[in-house]
Amino acid sequence: MSWPNPNSEGPRYEIINPITKKPVPIPKKGWRWIEDTFRAEEKHGPEYILPDGSMMKGRVWYAQDENTQPSSITYLREVESFLLRSIISLKSDGSSYLERLGLSGGIDYPKPPTLVEWLLYSTSLKHGYFMDFFGGSGTTAHAIINLNREDGGKRKYILVEMGEYFDTVLKPRIQKVIYSKDWKDGKPVSREGNSHMFKYMRLESYDDTLDNLQIIRTESQQATLENMEAKAREDYMLSYMLDVETKASDSLLNIDRFIDPFNYTLKIRRDNELKDEKIDLVETFNYLIGLYVEQTETIRGFKVVRGRLRTGEKSLVIWRNTQEKSNEALDDFFKKQKYNTLDFEFDLIFVNGDNNLENLKVAEDKWKVRLIEEEFKKRMFAEVI
């Protein structure tokens, strides 16, 4: 109830706390409301005691402490129409942002970045991760880029989205907002962008898995399956086919194709057409083993990743095309990089393809070698207990 502007003088009159029956101290700058307005607010509803012992008198709240100034309240029913108008306005504002970027029509009811900016700004955090499980048109990323640009913050975002508009709206929006902060009719008004890096990953979907399944089944087995009742066929497919027949064909994970791990492909459906697309086995393996990546580099055809596992074990991952990089080449590379010296002291070394690295160990070496193929398969098909 005190006057919000420290340079302004408000009216002065006595207010009695109905709980303590004592006068409330008058603020130095006086009250915000004139006395007639205050008295009218006190009569704008019933009097009742709240569970914490404080009291509502009309639309004025009183604390049990006579030194605490009363506060005004507003009931939800009085602002419902305002909220409705605000929501309609927000929808309109959100669409207008996409129109400026030249991305309108791709998604319904987008939020305006200003709304998310207010929410993020209210946390008073200029760093940390902000996750949006329903990425939509990319409003959260847009808002964080704007805020970081304005106050030099180091906020980071993680978005999750499964809609088809990822390629048509979400990703292009982030790219455009990075390039320039001002757009009109799909064209940049300025070149005032900022340095930024974002990474996106596509996760294999249930449909992708089904599209890549290869079934090993004889003609008589196929005929028997077709003659089964619907319930029996469903039980067979869920309990046996997926667990046995598809694993026998290695269609879920073809270890033989790890010979050339940099060109591993899966059939991915785009616009109802199956196409072979490259899969990043290196990145996938990092996630499977839970590796905190510290350095990634390609050296003379070897892809090398250094980091630590969740267990704290210092790990080295070496990838190669085993047809181009023989075991002798691997041994020579390992020695030249001096991975078996105390400068590195790895706990675990992962490498694809059969190898002789264990033979390079000296007495003081404690590291162990694990085959990527075996670890990959174990992690992918491990049973959750």
pLDDT band at 163 (very low <50, low <70, confident <90, very high): confident
Cα 265-266-270 angle, rounded to 5 deg: 120
- Give pTM, 2 decimals: 0.62
Q: What pLDDT shows up at residue 342? A: 57
What per-residue confidence (pLDDT) applies to 384?
46
pLDDT at 254: 73
Listed range (73-77, 189-193, 380-384) with the worst mean pLDDT: 380-384
| Domain assignments of the chain as residue spans, ordered by start | 1-73, 82-188, 206-278, 281-380
Confidence (pLDDT) at 206: 60
- Say what the pLDDT of residue 2 is: 46
Q: If you average pLDDT over every residue of the chain, what do you get?
A: 83
Q: Across residues 173-191, what is the average pLDDT? A: 91
Taking 80 as the threshold, does the pLDDT of residue 188 lie above it? yes
At 80 the pLDDT is 57
pLDDT the model gives residue 238: 65
Contact 155, 128 (CB under 8 A): yes
Give the residue, 268 or 333, on which the prediction is more confident.
Answer: 333
CB count, 10 Å around CB of 226? 8
pLDDT digits (tens, 9 = 90+) for 218-259: 677 777 777 888 887 777 766 666 666 655 545 567 777 789
100-128 tens-digit pLDDT:
999 988 788 788 888 888 888 877 788 99
Q: Considering only 24-33, 168-177, 204-213, 282-291, which range has the smallest mean pLDDT?
A: 204-213
Which pLDDT value is given to residue 316? 96
